Amino acid sequence: MTGGGRRGHNGRVTGARPTIVLASGSPRRRELLEQVGFDVLVDPSHVPEDHDGGHPDRVVLDLAHAKASEVAARHDGLPVLAADTMVVLDGDLLGKPADRGDAVRMLRLLSGRWHDVFTGVVLVPPEGRALERVGHTRVRLADLRDAEIARYVDGPEPYDKAGAYGIQATAGWFVAEVAGSPSNVMGLPLEVVRDLVAEAGLPIPELGAPG
């Protein structure tokens, strides 16, 4: 499951980048995993991101489990990681906008207000049961002008992101405060991934080490 390297006294592979299968086509999730030292094999899930509502913790975990199960069936011997992110405002779950009008609606709702971002993360190790965690971050957007919203939704950025904005890209201009994990708002809470990798007993990437 790794690209070579040597084995330390505890059996873990060192000097190598451990491989993980990402059940998502999100470039942000891939970049986050690569930045901390994983070799990422991208195999997006085709599970529809539909839900019947409920507590956001359960909604994002159920969707992440469905994605992980679908992709893990294609990858014996490799760990599979799946995630699903939702923005929650006043109990309403905001996923990816359906169209321009929906993106405008979401951004107007979020303007000047605190909201919650939940990401369900599921790791399926090569052996053993699936492991799960939820990341939670609070975010406050600045008061958004209609002209800013119009310019933003005329570009491609809002349409593959829960809540119709991406903190790591152009919409960082809108973000006034973040309480919690910034990587969670990007779609993959790295502190959660770190805990799951440790719990599964998988090789840990050597942070900062050359590939």
CATH-assigned architecture of domain 6-200: Alpha-Beta Complex (3.90)
pLDDT value for 3: 44
pLDDT attached to residue 208 = 61
Helical H runs in 36-145? 56-72, 100-110
CB-based contact 142:108 (threshold 8 Å):
no
How far, CA to CA in Å, does 61 sit from each of 51, 73, 122, 137? Answer: 11, 18, 7, 16
Q: Taking the model in full, what pTM does it have? A: 0.86
Q: Is the pLDDT of residue 56 over 70?
A: yes
pLDDT of residue 198: 95
Q: What is the mean pLDDT of residues 41-54?
A: 85
- Residue 24 one-letter amino acid: S
Identify the weakest region by mean pLDDT among 14-23, 125-134, 174-183, 190-199: 14-23
pLDDT score, position 13: 42
Q: What is the mean pLDDT of residues 170-178?
A: 91
Q: Is 16 left (phi over 0), alpha (psi -120 to 50) or beta?
A: beta
For 133, the 3-state DSSP assignment is: strand
Which candidate in 50, 57, 84, 99 is catalytic? Answer: 84
pLDDT confidence of residue 184:
96
Helix (H) or strand (E) holding 178: strand 175-179
Contact 19, 203 (CB under 8 A): no
Quote the pLDDT of residue 52. Answer: 72
155-174 exposure pattern, b = at least 16 Cβ within 10 A, e = fewer: eebbeebbbbbbbbeebeeb
SS3 199: helix
Helix, strand or coil, per DSSP, at residue 139: strand
Q: What's the pLDDT band for 139 if we cut at 50, 70, 90? A: very high
pLDDT of residue 196: 97
Residue 84 annotated among the catalytic residues of the structure? yes
188: CB partners within 8 A, 6+ apart: 26, 28, 29, 32, 33, 83, 119, 121
pLDDT at 121 over 90: yes
pLDDT at 180 > cutoff 80: yes
Give me the pLDDT at residue 11, please: 35
Please give the sequence-ordered ranges of beta strands (E in DSSP) within 73-162, or none if there are none. Answer: 80-89, 92-94, 114-124, 131-141
The identity of residue 94, as a single letter, is: L
Range of lowest pLDDT (83-92, 117-126, 159-168): 159-168
